[in-house]
Structures are given as structure tokens and as C-alpha cells.
A and B are shown apart, each in its own frame.
Chain A
Amino acid sequence: MKHESVPIYWRNIPQYYRLVAKRCKKCGTIYFPPVAKCKCGSVELEDYELPREGRLLEYTVLYQVGTDFLKQKPLVLGLVELDGGVKVSGQIVDARPERLKPGVKVEVVFRRVVVDGKHGLVMYGYKFRPVERL
């Protein structure tokens, strides 16, 4: 969307750049995106960086995209299970979609996500790519 907000982007950088989740100190449940309170009732949550490798569970190729992604369309969007079991959704890059399939090993990469016009922000974040070239 045009004119994304600087404070919103800035405050989410730990998640966008390093996948900082929350882990419950009592029961160990991991939350990404982070939450304020665990389902077990505990509010003692610590920052926890998610593993950077996992496997692709499923993906879709999206052709009807929002205004931020017109230059990148189609987008390959997937659901990934990281080592340890936490699932994260995101863009799958550096792969021809017809060669992707569930189970493919993927890793986190750091990429440009949105360029907000000529004078706006350039925003970054995590994406996923297959570990082996497809």
C-alpha cells in the first residue's frame, strides 16, 4: 500500500530481519508472530530466534497481487515448517514454482520486500529459498 508507516516498519524489524519469536518460559510453546501471554496462562515469555532451515509444507502462485507487488508478480507464497516444528508463512524465492513440491528443504534469506514508491521507504524482511538449486 502507498505510504507505509515508518514506526510500524521500525518496530517490527526484529521479526522481519531475524525472526524473533516469543517462547514461554513455563511450557516452552513458541509463538510467531509474538504474543503477550501464553495459552498456559504464563506471561513469562522470552525472545527466541527461530531456526533458519526447514521444509516446505505447501505453496501457491498468486497472480492477483496488491499494489506493492505488481512488479514482482506472480508471487510464490508458501507455508514452511522450520526445524523444531514452528510453521511460518512467507514468500518462496529463487525457485521455479513448477519444480517446487512439499517436503523441499528451504532456508531463510534476507530480502527486499516492499519499495514504497520513488521517495518512500525500502523495506526488508525474511523470505525462503530452496537449499538446493531447483
Chain B
Amino acid sequence: MGRHYSKNIDDMAAAVLDKAIADAKADIEALYVASSTTELANKQQLLGVYILEALGLDGIPVYRVENGDGSGGSAVAAAYHALRAEEYNCVAVVGVDKPNDVLSNQQQDIYATTLDTYFERYFGFTPLSQAALMAKMYLKKYEYRYEDLAQWAVLMHNRGAANPYAYFRKPIKLEDAVNSEYVSEPLRLYDVGPLADGAAAAVLCNNRRDGVRILHVATATNPTPFNLRQDYDRLVSLEKAAEQAYTKAKIAPRDVATAEVHDSFSIFGILALEALGLARRGTAPLVVKEGNAPVNYSGGFKARGNILGATGVYQLVEVAWQLQGREFKRVDGSYGLVHSMGGVDKISTIVLMGL
């Protein structure tokens, strides 16, 4: 991922999809496409059909899923439910976004359409500004200093260094984060996952013994507007999805050997740890500082990059590979999860996986 000025969005998706299908040696009966910004940034609708065209895949149905930067998780959920209903035996999910086809201020415009476009975006709010308000309230409530939050970026950069597909593969020092410029105070440049072009694909099948199993997929929404929230120090959509996923799959937070969470802004990584039960409320910065939380071995949005709607599919592949010890160091355990979130705590999808 990164900046792919030389590739069109359909070709970029087709390239990874082709690899995933060849790797799985499966006949694909449907394609699920996760993309957040293909209309606004790349001026393309019906993306799935053009991806098929590039691969010469003939006639199969395509479904496009758009749930903002949570599109990836939602597309995986849709594919999973179709398999569970035995509508198909094997399907592919591809996530793709190319924000670098437009200028950075236009990227802010587009990302801001995940907020309420009439009452938040209109007045200048962006996801970053809402994350900043949440960070400020969290730090005050639990009496942390900014340096405590900046530990997130340090951990993410350390982990991203071991991810061959990460956007940034360089460890940083705490001072680098603390001295970086304000983007929306208290958040600084290193609190923001950089928007990047990228594509990821996976093949999901019923009745296969090889590969990693999806144990449960849970989705929950939080339709309360930002201004009417009761609490600004928690991710409500994730709490609901997590409770459902853990209960259904009969798994406890301590069984999770790897979690890829939606840390588009550092504070969301902190809040995700707490919502997932990987840290008690108000303690995540301490857990992060210890340095061995089983979270974002990919480097997260900060180091892997924020590929908007494609990110959930990246996360799915990352967790599968971490469980298998492929491309990543094998994690110590059999269970992993993906947290994919759209907007500022508007929708969360959890994919629970096991070996």
C-alpha cells in the first residue's frame, strides 16, 4: 500500500484478488467488494464488474458494500452470512480504496462524509476533530498526560516494522510522536493513521479443512448523533458487537491471541482495547505502555496505513496469517479477532477467528 499513482482502482483490486483465488485454489461463486470512496475519489460505480473484467471472471454476481471506513468488516460479514445460508460454497471478498487519486484536503472532505453530512461535515467537523474531542475528554477523565496516549504510536510503529505490507516500517521514539505537529489538539500527526492506497482480498469457503475458521461475525451500530452521546470515552458500537461475538463463540477476551483493531486515530485504539475487554476501562494507556498487548501486530492504521473501506479485509488477512505464522510471526494461541469500524463509533463489525 502507499501511493499508487500508476494504477487504476479496478486493476489494483484485480491483482490481489487474482492472487487470493490462485492461493485458495477455489471456484468463486460471488464477489463482495468493500470500498468507501470509489465514487468520490475515483469516479467509478459498479466497481465489482470492472474488477471481474480485468480478470476475465465471467458472469458471477458482485455485491458492493459501503459502510465508510468500516466497509471491509461489513463486506466480510455479508459474505459470511451468505455462506452460512448456503447460498454459495466459495466467495471472494476484496477491499480497495485509492484516496491518493485526490488531494489531501479533498480526502478530508470525503472522509468527513462518514459523519452527519448536514450537521457535522457542513460546519467543518471531520472524523479527526471528533476523535480529538473524545481524546481530550478521555485524558482528562482518567488523568493521563498526552505522553500516555502517544505510547500508542510508539507501539504501532514498532509492530509495523515487522509487517512486510506496512506503509511505514520504521520504529519511532516517544519524542517523535510528542514533538510532532498538532492536527486537532490534543491529537498530533502521530495520532493519525495515514490514508493510503491499497487492496486486499480473501477467499471464504464452506467445507474446507485447510486455512483459518471464522467462528462468528457480529455487527452493531450506534445511531446516536455525536452531540447527543452520553459518554465520549467509550466505543458503544464495539462494546455491543464484542458482547455478542464473545457470547456466541463462547470465547473470553483472555483467549484472544491477536486483535486487529480500528485505530484510525490513536484514541480509538485505546478505546477499542477497553471495549474488547483487553484492558479495564481507563487503563488501556497503561496496558499499551507495558508493550505486550496482543493488538495490531500489523502496526495498525498508524503504521500499516488507513486504507479506508479496504482496511477490514487487510485486517482479516492479517489475523489469519498471524494465527498461521505466515508473513507474520505466529501468535501464541488459537483465536484472533478483527474490529472494523465505520465513522466515529457508528458501526462496528467483529470477526472472530480460530485455527
Contact = CB atoms under 8 A, between A and B. Distances in A.
Interface in B73-132: 104-106, 108-109, 112, 116, 118-126, 128-129, 132
B109 A1 contact: yes
Contacts, number: 104
A128 B106 CA distance: 26
A58 B137 contact: yes
A121 B228 CA distance: 30
Nearest to A8: B118
A113 B122 CA distance: 8
A86 B125 CA distance: 19
A-side interface size class? 35 or more
Interface residues of B, number: 35
A82 to B, nearest CB: 10
B122 A125 contact: yes
B123 A90 contact: yes
A33 B116 contact: yes
Nearest to A89: B227
Contacts of A15: 118-119
Contacts of A63: 181-184
B182 A66 contact: no
Contact of B126 (A65, A79, A87, A90): A65
B53 interface: no
A42 interface: no
Contact of A66 (B105, B119, B192): B105
A38 interface: no
A64 B183 contact: yes
A32 interface: yes
Max chain B CB contacts within 10 Å: which of A1, A86, A125, A127? Answer: A1
A83 B234 CA distance: 25
A131 interface: no
B119 A33 contact: yes
A33 B225 contact: yes
A70 interface: yes
**Chain A to chain B: the 6 pairs with minimum beta-carbon distance, closest first:** A60-B132, A66-B109, A89-B227, A66-B108, A62-B184, A62-B129
Interface of B: 104-106, 108-109, 112, 116, 118-126, 128-129, 132-133, 136-137, 181-187, 192, 225-228, 232
21 contacts: A32-B119, A32-B228, A60-B129, A60-B133, A62-B132, A63-B181, A63-B183, A63-B184, A64-B104, A64-B126, A64-B184, A65-B124, A66-B105, A66-B106, A66-B109, A66-B112, A69-B124, A77-B129, A79-B227, A113-B123, A125-B123
